[in-house]
Homo-oligomer: A and B are copies of this chain.
Amino acid sequence: MINWSSLSANEQQAALARPANADAAGLSATVANIVEAVKARGDEAILEYTRKFDCPTLQNLVLSDSDWDKLAAQVDESVKQALIEAYDNIKAFHSAQMPDSVVMDTTQGVVCEQHYTALESVGLYVPGGTAPLPSTVLMLGIPATVAGCPRRILCTPPNNSGLIAPEIAYAAKLCGVQKIFLCGGAQAIAGMAYGTQSIPKADKLFGPGNSFVTEAKQQVSQTPEGAAIDMPAGPSEVLVLADENANPVFVAADLLSQAEHGHDSQAVLVTNSSALIGAVKREVDNQLAKLARAEITAKAMQHARYILTDSVAKAIDVSNRYAPEHLIVQLDDAVALLPSIKNAGSIFVGPWSPESAGDYASGTNHVLPTYGYSKNHSSLGLVDFMRRYTVQTLSQTGIRYLGPTIMTLAKSEGLTAHENAVKVRLDALDNKDSWSGKYD
């Protein structure tokens, strides 16, 4: 238990520090080599890495339609129904995010417009590993389809027999993924960023992954020939704000569900009640034993943090400083306190709103800024699959009216060619016998 008010400024900072990424330099070099190999040799390089790490016998990077259908058909009926219900909620919430265009006359004869348009080609990444994540397929595929991105591909590592989890195959069909490529890691990211013989180049890459995937996304986003990325990433995390009336059983379950993601994921409780901390710790021990991933979870809970503050207001300060990916608010007057809560990717309000709801089925996206990035990055949404651009049209009236202002400003910046681009037009208008064009 950390008693916040007893800590020095430095100790407080340390108490909120994330685990640092180990050996960043080594990771960066390893990933750079993989990216270079894929740029140089395309499918051949990706196949080599995939055979080495995932499936020694893989022949083809593309999941065939027949295999895709077969896999999708294997999914248990109850899981299909659950995926469909999640799909409906996620689609409804993301469809409601469709942005409006702005079209206005800013001044006489000057029309300014801002429009959103879907990105042409998006690459979705879904990790393999210990647990298949059909929920992530929905979180990426649904907004890509709702936004109207014409090309939507997905990369996920194959299992030892060169196939993927049936649930991933089913979810991908459900949300309109057009092709699945059987590769993962930095090689998959490089393949989508630069394109290969079989993988079409993507304009932007989406999805979570391990440190290799994260580093590869950072690297390919540094070059214009590469691809944009959804957001920087780090290990998943939850912060629970609770008071003495919170239910320790719920709080413990929420901390454990975060810890379950992996040994490096972070669970933090901030409360003004030491009694609650004691009760939560007891509950953590009770519940931990019964979990399937008890070992991973126990490991992550070793660096769980229980922070005691003097007041609820101070607890909220601590949360704002930590800027959690997931924030669960189990305070009596949670709704009233929301305006004072600043930095969080997604906020879960009240005792009946576990993180699991947003992870799977409520409708919000579970791809969120971690690692303190919720201070200056957004949770994944529909507009991340679109781009904004502006349009302007000046009529003859418009250039006559605004022209002198533009010329004055251009001159004041010493840019006489900018001034001249207006002058030649005003001259053409004044001297009617010369070309005077259309549009008015």
Residues of A within 8 A of B (CB): 18, 76, 78-79, 81-83, 85-86, 88-89, 92-93, 96-97, 99-100, 102, 104, 106-107, 110, 112, 114, 117, 119-120, 130-135, 167, 203-204, 218, 222, 224-225, 227-228, 232, 234, 245, 247, 249-250, 253-254, 256-257, 259-261, 287, 290-293, 297, 332, 334-335, 338, 342, 344-365, 371-379, 381, 383, 387-396, 398-399, 402, 404-406, 408-410, 412-425, 428, 435, 437-440
Contacts and interface: CB of A to CB of B under 8 A. Distances in A.
A107 B395 CA distance: 49
Contacts of A392: 346-349, 353, 357-358, 362-364
Nearest to A254: B421
B388 A381 contact: yes
Contact of A92 (B104, B224, B404): B104
Contact of A134 (B99, B250, B409): B409
A131 to B, nearest CB: 4
Given A224-B18, A247-B435, A359-B418, A350 B390 contact: no
A408 B76 CA distance: 10
Contact of A106 (B93, B106, B423): B93
Contacts of A391: 338, 346-347, 349
Given A290-B420, A356-B419, 7 more contacts: A114-B379, A114-B381, A130-B414, A257-B415, A292-B414, A353-B392, A353-B398
A209 to B, nearest CB: 16
Contact of A93 (B102, B291, B405): B102
A359 to B, nearest CB: 6
22 contacts: A79-B412, A82-B408, A93-B114, A167-B413, A204-B376, A224-B372, A253-B423, A257-B420, A293-B417, A332-B438, A347-B389, A347-B392, A349-B392, A349-B393, A354-B418, A357-B402, A360-B406, A360-B418, A361-B406, A363-B392, A377-B387, A383-B388
Q: Which of A93, A112, A131, A398 has most B Cβ within 10 Å?
A: A112
Contacts of A437: 245, 247, 350-352
Contacts of A292: 414-416
Contacts of A130: 414
Contact of A387 (B83, B376, B404): B376
Given A249-B428, A352-B425, A260 B107 contact: no
A133 B234 contact: no
